Amino acid sequence: IESIKSTEAERAPYAPFTTSTLQQTASSRLGFAPSRTMSIAQKLYEKGHITYMRTDSTNIGVDAKAEIKNVVEKLYGATYHVERVYKSKSKNAQEAHEAVRPTHATLMNAGSTDEEKRLYKLIWERTVSSQMASAKVMRTKVIAKADDKKVPSFDTNGSVLIFDGWLAADPAGRGEDALLPKMEEGQDIKVLKISSEMKFTQPPNRYTEAGLVKELEK
């Protein structure tokens, strides 16, 4: 191992759900089509579990923020809470309603069917995590070189979680971040396998419904 470079970085939480971001996240995480998401959300709204699900606003009301603060401090501790204000990126945003959020943040689970429970959990996690501290990660780049000077260096990137912050409430928000083992400069490593692949430039995939929603919003 020739060098190990580490830099500390922060990851801020996502904004609370609007209609379109709810559709996109439910599609990627739960596999729900936008129409199905809205149908399930409608039922949750009619039962009084969530606020109105057709909104462009990322705002959360003062009373709701106070309730979320109590929930965060009770579940994770005072150091995890940070009050945040979000602004809509859309110039034509209709912000008459609040963001899509649970009517009571103290209720971690709600819904009578499996689909309703899964969508409610997604909304709860996003809402609560939006008012939490940033996660701290140590981003690391490792460069390895061969004894033969003609062989180019190999490198890999990954990260180590230092402080989970908002990821405590929304673990899936981390994504597919590579975790690296502990390594030191000058350490000898064995080559287990070398393979070469031919790559072809592929045209973009067809739109999913959620992908189309995201593109139209742009």
Q: pLDDT by residue for the chain (218 residues), tens digit each?
A: 999 999 999 999 999 999 999 999 999 999 999 999 999 999 999 999 999 999 999 999 999 999 999 999 999 999 999 999 987 666 555 556 799 999 999 999 999 999 999 999 999 999 999 999 999 988 899 999 988 888 899 999 888 888 999 999 999 888 777 777 778 899 998 889 989 999 999 998 898 888 888 888 88
Neighbours of 34 (CB within 10 A): 19
Active site residues: 52
At 218 the three-state DSSP class reads coil
CB-neighbour burial class of residue 90 (10 A; exposed 0-12, middle 13-18, buried 19+): middle
- HEC string of 51-112 equals CCCCCCCCCCCHHHHHHHHHHHHHHCCHHHECCCCCCCCCCCCCCCCCCECECCCCCCCCCC
In this predicted structure, what is the pLDDT of residue 13? 96
In this predicted structure, what is the pLDDT of residue 46? 96
In this predicted structure, what is the pLDDT of residue 182? 79
Provide the whole-model pTM: 0.81
